[in-house]
Each structure stands twice: as C-alpha cells, then as structure tokens.
Structure 1
C-alpha cells in the first residue's frame, strides 16, 4: 500500500463516481479502478458497494476513509512542521548568559525573538563569564555570550558590541558633576574591582587602568557581579567601572560618567560550535546582531 492508494481511494469516496474521480486525479478510469481493486484485495475487504452503476462506501470503506483522511492530514502536518524546522521557525535553543547581559541586551533580544518565533523554546542557563566557553564545550548550551573571542577553529563567533567603559559613582559625589572622569582622578577613591575567578578580563583591565594612574584598586572588596558593585557605589562606599550598556539600569543614587581613557573597551561576542546543525541558532544570532546594533 502506498500513499497514492489512499489519495485515489479518498477521491473516489468523495465523488462516489469513478469517472469524476479519474478526472480530478488526471488519470484514466481503468487504472483507477484497478488500483482500488488492488487495495481491496490487499486489505481483503470491500471498500465500495457497486450496484446498478451506483457507488457507495461500504461500512468498511467508511472506517477506512476516516483513518486514511487522518493519515494524510498528519502527513501534511508533518511536512509543514519539518519545513518550519528547516527554516528555524520551530525547535529549541539553549543559551548561556552571564549577569550583566541579563539586564542589558538579553531582555529586548528575548522579547523580540519570542514575538518572531513563538514556536521556538528558549532555555536560559546562567554561568559566570569565565565559565561560558566550558559550558559550550560540554554541550550544556548551544551558544554563549562571552567577552573575548576564543579564536578556536571548532567554534564560530560574531562580535555584537564593543563599548566604552563608564565610571559608576554616587550621584552626590563631587566628581559626578563632571561630564567625563579620568582614572587619574580616582586615585584617592576606593575602586571596587571584580573577582578574578568570575570576570578575569574585567579584573585585569581595571588593574591595568589603575596601575597606569599609579595606584591599585581595592583588594578587600572584589565583587562577583556588577549589580553587587553598583549596590556599594550607591551607598557611597566606592566607585567601579562598567560597560556603557549598564547605564540602562535604574540604580538609586548611581551616576554613570564616561571614562576619559577611551582605549578601555568591553567587547561582547556570541559563540557556538562551527559544526552545529541547529537551524534555530542562525535566527537567534542574526536577531542578536540586529538588537545590539540599535542605538
């Protein structure tokens, strides 16, 4: 039994006329009649009652018509769903992210992605920025946000952002009245650094910036998350450096001022396995690039 047998049968069942059915199927009547007879012989049932040139579905034919219709409908649905999967319109994707992405780029990206691809399941998994690539290599996620290009042939990456650093400072501090702040002006302030094990790139950069001005950041108060650092800043406990995009946060008593030393920048990449066959991935990467490029 082949799918064409089901289509032939259902066309006859609909028209109850072999001549009309043959015309709809664009075949001659004798081959159609032969196909139906072969189908009945294979199933060892009578599908049509043929009396006085009238054709009616038998009780067995009525059951088979219902089941055959269901089979072809499911087949058509399977084809459509398969095509949608090939276009990346359905499926799933697991995304690794770290803290400050959660309140800058990720919210608008997820909102628009879900609007455009409502049938795609997005799984979010938090790792520190230092752990992102390891999670990708383990297969925990399909792609990750990172702050430096891994430069690995097995991995593919795209640069989403390259943004300057800003000084986060209490609004009532005298320096907050300035349009820009140099790192040299912060030598007498407590500069809150990030933990080396959590954000090694930021930890090193802040150390280098402070060293260029002849002092060191605080070694007693190193935070694992930007929000924790901003909490200390809001209390007037010290200052910290953050990527420009963090200005989108609403933290009480915190002002953000550009850092005069513009050579200090924070990059953001998306990284995934070069051999990935996940068709949803390309849709996510493209939209991430679009969102990141918006002012």
Structure 2
C-alpha cells in the first residue's frame, strides 16, 4: 500500500483542485492524477468525482478523509516537535478552557493527576468556547473545556470527542437593588419587559442560544440592550442596574458579588454544562490519556 498516495489524496481533498495541489506537492498534474487513479484502483472504490469544471469527494472519499486526517496530522506534529526540540518532548498538557471550568473542575482533576504523575507540565489558557474548539481542532491544545453546545454533532463533524459533566439550571441574575432581588423564584414571563444583557452569539453561542430558548419557551423574545462574551463584564453591567440576564448556576457561583442576586426560574427546564473535547486520533499522549481517564469519573454522558 502506497502511503504517499494517501498523503496526496488528503491534499487533493483539502483544495479540490488538482492544479493547486500539484503546485503545493511539487508534483506534475498528470502525475498527481495518475496517483489518484492508482489509489482508487488499489482500493476498488471511487474517491473523487472529476469533471472539466470541478472536483468533488464521493461519500467514500469523505469517509476516508475523516478517518485518515487525524493520523497524518499526528505524524506531522511528531516530526515538527522533534525538529523544533531536537529531542523527545517533555510530557505536557495544554488545556484551553472557559473560566468556570478553570476554577472548578480542572484544579481537582489536575491535583489527582499530579498525585499519579509528577513528571509533567501543564498550561491553561482561558478563552471563549469558540476559541477553545479552534485550539483543539488545530491541535495547539491537547484538550479543552467548553460550554456544551446545543448541536453536539458539529463537534463530531470537526473530528472531536466530547465528554459532558454536571448540568446546572439557568437562573435569573439581577442587581441587588432590583425589585425582585429578594425573591427565591420567579416566572420568567413576568420579566418579558425587562432589558436583557445578552451573550455574544459568535463567541458564546451555547449561552446565547440557552437564553434565547428559555425566553422563547416562556413566551417572549428578550428585549436585548447589549452584551458580550465575558461573564464578569455581563455581571458588572447587571450589578449597575443596566439590565438582567440568565446565567447557569455554576457561572454565578464564580462571581461571588454581593451586588447581584440569582433567582430560580419557575418551571424552567433549561440547563447548561461544561464538556471536555479532544481530537479524535489513533494516538493520544500518555499524560493526556491519563487526564481523560480521571475526567471519566466526573462524566454524566458522552458523545463521539
């Protein structure tokens, strides 16, 4: 089996352009075409639909790309690390995370890992969920902790595993001076005329859609006056009486401010959770694998 032909195929699949791929690989276009035809003949399946105007992957081609890409990316990463370090890289764990996981889940898991494996380093990078997905997908981080997305299938399409942890109910967050601040629970519909501090749809999509869905389920569209991706910014806006918001209980516990209050929502079944994600690959570094084993103890559901 000619592994170089598979490498050529992955490049063709990336560009869907034989001319561009031949330039990138420094191979003639007829030679590249011959490599693809030989590979299809050897496998006995058609991988590419070619015409004079465009190139498209067949279903079998898409499956092969999805199956092979992680392995070739791993090979390239290993070679790059060896070249850069001129030696075997030390055991390290690069983690991208949203703030709530950085303060709650990760320290507990790292403490347990440290008790089992002393010879490793770790680096935490606090980012939005969107950025965390990007860092893991590009393999700049070994794993990440994000707000569980509404559509977990997208993670699977990106070649990522997902492990979900404890779910927390949404609560109404108001200023300590707000008229309802002393209540233990509230009907969300009664707040339909309140100004809402929202989440950024691009940077914090899970929280954005959770708030939208909760309000729509209550029978209204939130009257949004502003927002952003950072929970401290949003909580500061709320504490100054500029509006109210909805926030998962675990996020509210991070803020620890006497200037805002959290109120339960009557009858609402909206929940949010943190999930760990990592790249699907045939090889996972030992320290990452052990860390994932530890995280299994916190899991409630899993998706692949």
For Structure 1 versus Structure 2, the TM-score category normalised by the shorter chain is: 0.5 to 0.7
Partner of 2:9: none
Partner of 1:253: 259
2:195, 2:242 within 8 Å by CA — same for their partners in 1? yes
Is 1:263 matched up with 2:263?
no
> Structure 2 CA distance, aligned partners of 1:236 and 1:112?
42
Is 1:194 matched up with 2:215?
no
Question: 1:141 Cα deviation (Å)?
Answer: 0.5
Which structure's CA Rg is the greater one?
Answer: 1
> Structure 1 CA distance, aligned partners of 2:214 and 2:252?
21
Partner of 1:54: none
Question: 1:173 Cα deviation (Å)?
Answer: 2.2
Partner of 1:283: 290
2:163, 2:299 within 8 Å by CA — same for their partners in 1? no
Partner of 2:33: none
> Structure 2 CA distance, aligned partners of 1:92 and 1:278?
9
Question: 1:97 Cα deviation (Å)?
Answer: 0.8
Q: Of residues 204, 209, 216 in structure 1, which corresponds to 2:214? A: 209
1:109, 1:288 within 8 Å by CA — same for their partners in 2? yes
> Structure 2 CA distance, aligned partners of 1:207 and 1:124?
30
Further displaced range: 114-123 or 156-165: 114-123
Change (3 A) 1:225 1:100: farther
Change (3 A) 1:153 1:224: closer
Question: 1:115 Cα deviation (Å)?
Answer: 4.8
Partner of 1:239: 244
Structure 1 vs Structure 2 CA RMSD: 2.5
1:178-216: CA deviation from partner (whole Å, max 9, x where unpaired): 222221121122221101111112212212322333433
2:137, 2:160 within 8 Å by CA — same for their partners in 1? no
1:182, 1:259 within 8 Å by CA — same for their partners in 2? yes
Q: Which runs of 5+ in 2 are unaligned?
A: 1-89
> Structure 2 CA distance, aligned partners of 1:136 and 1:219?
32
Please show how residues 6-21 of structure 1 align to structure 2 within 5 Å.
Answer: none
Is 1:97 matched up with 2:97?
yes
Partner of 2:224: 219
Q: Which runs of 5+ in 1 are unaligned?
A: 1-89
Change (3 A) 1:111 1:169: farther
> Structure 1 CA distance, aligned partners of 2:262 and 2:137?
36
> Structure 1 CA distance, aligned partners of 2:292 and 2:142?
11
| TM norm structure 2 | 0.60
Question: 1:289 Cα deviation (Å)?
Answer: 4.5
| TM norm structure 1 | 0.61
Which runs of structure 1 show a deviation greater than 6 angstroms over 4 or more consecutive aligned residues?
none
1:170, 1:234 within 8 Å by CA — same for their partners in 2? yes
Question: 1:107 Cα deviation (Å)?
Answer: 4.0
> Structure 1 CA distance, aligned partners of 2:252 and 2:116?
27
Question: 1:125 Cα deviation (Å)?
Answer: 2.3
> Structure 1 CA distance, aligned partners of 2:207 and 2:293?
27
Change (3 A) 1:257 1:118: farther
Please show how residues 1-295 of structure 1 align to structure 2 within 5 Å.
Answer: 91-146=91-146, 147-148=148-149, 149=152, 150-152=155-157, 154-249=159-254, 250-275=256-281, 276-290=283-297
